[in-house]
């Protein structure tokens, strides 16, 4: 997820931020005549709308925002805790005991949309860069740096937090649980960086084959699945599934590149939607793939790590729907009240992605000292837990907003950081990586 993939273009970001700054400078300083929050929100919405370039693709930004928000919502709903007798927190999931919870993962696992929009945005960025005479290597370096800054920030902060929390009496088991949760979404950054590096090749493939350039990737995953789940499964090496990592996640990205190049239209979208939906049902009902799109504790077979053919079937369905609904989404986002939240989410994309697990931990870790708290440190094995967890979601969201108000600085270039400061951050991040690798 590069910065351009997850956020609006830099020039739009600066325009919008500039508008917010100007709004602040013109606030009524008279305490008697202080404007209400509704007035301030209305001015912000109007300003964002006025400063949005006419060429901005609102549908792509809207799809990106929805896919992004599904990440914290999904992790907050399927990531539970149990508290042992010593007050330590352990990871748990409602998916392990509540079978009817699995369909929720079909809705909240929007990685197909993520990669589709990523490929679309990357090819446009790549085309602009090459038109300016920028080399492919320079373009890729820029995107990887924008990816790396926030990841470096969150891991460095947690490396510093762990000994402080231990000194404050937080059990070591809780710290290991926290490390697992913090690392959990960051694997995506490495995968995304890998597929982004292949953008020039994806462009060439789209030019030659159009949207059909994704078909060989789909076929590769299907072959691996037949080998590891079919009649020859016992003879296959345990690492065979890892072969699916690249084609499995590159599939939707390649579709996005083809879409951005104008080689994927409504007919292709309809084929992806119907074909993906039919295959999804076939794999579930006939071939008995696991129903959950994410890993379930205690289960030996998972769909996402590495991706199975079911993940690609769902991605096909999602991508087809996105292509077909694009115009409707764009029209809906012409309404300033709907467009402003999309801009806000995109501007905070990497902050949301990197810090949402920390927001949940901010609520869970202190509560463990109080005993068991419904929906937070009680076992996620009942409808009551689900209702209680839903009540916690606004708390997690507020915690994320508070954390983000401080940590968003990691997303932007670290212009004020000294060489020693950057080296210290890198060293802390490396320490956290070693710790997380040891406990995951």
Number of domains in the chain: 1
Q: What is the pLDDT of residue 416?
A: 67
Residue 36 lies in a domain: no
In a domain, 362, yes or no: yes
Q: Is residue 387 part of a domain?
A: yes
Q: Which of 7-16, 113-122, 171-180, 227-236 has the lowest mean pLDDT?
A: 7-16
- Domain contains 263: yes
Confidence label for 34 from pLDDT (cuts 50, 70 and 90): low
Mean pLDDT of 334-360: 93
**Structural domain boundaries enclosing 342:** 59-439
Q: Does residue 111 register a pLDDT over 50?
A: yes
Q: What is the mean pLDDT of the chain?
A: 88
26 confidence band (pLDDT: 50, 70, 90): very low
Rg (CA), the chain: 23
Taking the C-alpha atoms of residue 341 and residue 314, their distance in angstroms, rounded to an integer, is 27
User: Among 41-50, 205-214, 342-351, which is the least confidently predicted range?
Assistant: 41-50
Distances (CA, A) of 40 to 104, 116, 326, 397: 36, 35, 31, 21
Task: Reduce the DSSP state of residue 293 to 3 states and report it.
Answer: coil
More confident residue, 82 or 38: 82
pLDDT at 41: 79
pLDDT band at 409 (very low <50, low <70, confident <90, very high): confident
pLDDT above 70 (res 31): no
Q: What is the mean predicted confidence (pLDDT) over 87-102?
A: 88
**pTM, whole model, 2 decimals?**
0.88
Res. 351: pLDDT tops 70: yes
- Report which of residues 298 and 193 the model is more confident about: 193
* 89 within a domain of the structure (yes/no): yes
- How far is residue 31's CA from residue 342's CA, in Å, rounded to a whole number? 32
In the numeric block, the tokens 């995304």 are attached to: 192
pLDDT at 315 over 80: yes
How many CB atoms within 10 Å of residue 16? 21
Model confidence at 25, pLDDT cuts 50, 70, 90, reads: very low
pLDDT of residue 423: 87
* Greater model confidence, 27 or 91: 91
Residue 305's pLDDT is: 84
Residue located via tokens 């205690």: 298
Tell me: pLDDT of 32 over 70.
no
The pLDDT > 90 percentage for the chain reads: 66
Rounded alpha-carbon distances, angstroms, from residue 185 to 26, 63, 181 = 40, 19, 8
Instruction: Name which of 20-34, 193-207, 353-367 the model is least confident about.
Output: 20-34
pLDDT value at 170 more than 90: yes
How many C-beta neighbours within 10 Å does residue 220 have?
18
- 27 pLDDT band, cuts 50/70/90, is very low
Q: Is the pLDDT of residue 82 over 60?
A: yes
Give the DSSP H or E segment for 192.
helix 187-197
Over 70: is that where the pLDDT of 227 sits? yes
pLDDT value at residue 341: 93
Query: Torsions phi, psi of 389, nearest 5?
Result: -65, -40
Distance CA(131)–CA(146), nearest Å, equals 21
In a domain, 266, yes or no: yes
Q: Determine the length of the chain.
A: 440
Q: Is residue 193 part of a domain?
A: yes
Q: Is the pLDDT of residue 427 over 50?
A: yes
At 240, is the secondary structure helix, strand, or coil?
A: helix
- Residue with more model confidence, 235 or 437: 235
Tokens of residue 16, six digits: 């919008």
- pLDDT for 394 equals 96
Q: Given this model, what pLDDT does residue 377 score?
A: 92
Position 44 in a domain: no
Give 126-168 pLDDT, tens digit per residue.
Answer: 999 999 999 999 999 999 988 889 999 999 999 999 999 999 9
CA distances from 8 to 24, 117, 130, 286, 421 (A): 22, 12, 19, 42, 29
């Amino acid at each position: 997820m590069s910065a351009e993939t997850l956020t609006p273009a830099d020039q739009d970001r600066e325009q919008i931020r500039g508008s917010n700054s100007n709004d602040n400078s013109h606030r009524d300083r008279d305490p008697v005549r202080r404007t209400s929050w509704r007035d301030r929100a209305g001015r912000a919405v109007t300003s964002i709308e006025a400063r949005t370039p006419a060429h901005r693709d609102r549908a792509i930004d809207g799809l990106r925002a929805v896919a992004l928000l599904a990440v914290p919502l999904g992790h907050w709903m399927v990531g539970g805790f149990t508290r042992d007798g010593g007050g330590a927190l352990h990871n748990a999931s409602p998916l392990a005991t509540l079978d009817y919870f699995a369909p929720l993962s079909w809705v909240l696992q929007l990685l197909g949309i993520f990669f589709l929009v990523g490929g679309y945005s990357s090819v446009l960025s790549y085309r602009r860069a090459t038109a300016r005479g920028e080399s492919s290597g320079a373009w890729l370096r820029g995107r990887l740096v924008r990816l790396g800054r926030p990841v470096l920030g969150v891991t460095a902060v947690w490396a510093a937090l762990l000994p402080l929390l231990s000194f404050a009496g937080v059990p070591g088991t809780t710290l290991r649980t926290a490390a697992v949760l913090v690392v959990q979404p960051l694997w995506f950054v490495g995968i995304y960086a890998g597929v982004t590096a292949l953008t020039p090749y994806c462009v060439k493939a789209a030019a030659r084959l159009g949207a059909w350039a994704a078909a060989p990737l789909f076929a590769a995953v299907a072959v691996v699945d037949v080998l590891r789940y079919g009649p020859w499964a016992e003879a296959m090496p345990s690492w065979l599934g890892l072969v699916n990592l690249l084609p499995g996640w590159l599939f939707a990205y390649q579709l996005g590149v083809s879409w951005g190049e104008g080689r994927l239209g409504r007919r292709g979208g309809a084929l992806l939607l119907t074909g993906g939906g039919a295959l999804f049902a076939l794999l579930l009902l006939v071939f008995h793939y696991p129903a959950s799109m994410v890993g379930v504790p205690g289960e030996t077979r998972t769909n996402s790590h590495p991706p199975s053919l079911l993940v690609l079937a769902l991605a096909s369905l999602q991508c087809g729907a996105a292509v077909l609904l694009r115009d409707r989404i764009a029209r809906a986002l012409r309404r300033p009240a709907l467009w402003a939240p999309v801009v806000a989410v995109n501007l905070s994309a990497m902050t949301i992605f990197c810090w949402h697990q920390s927001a949940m931990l901010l609520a869970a870790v202190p509560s463990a000292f109080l005993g068991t708290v419904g929906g937070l440190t009680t076992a996620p094995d009942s409808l009551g837990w689900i209702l209680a967890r839903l009540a916690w979601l606004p708390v997690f969201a507020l915690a994320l907003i508070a954390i983000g108000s401080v940590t968003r600085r990691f997303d932007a270039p670290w212009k004020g950081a000294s060489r020693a400061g950057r080296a210290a951050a890198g060293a802390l991040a490396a320490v956290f990586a070693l710790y997380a690798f040891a406990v995951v």
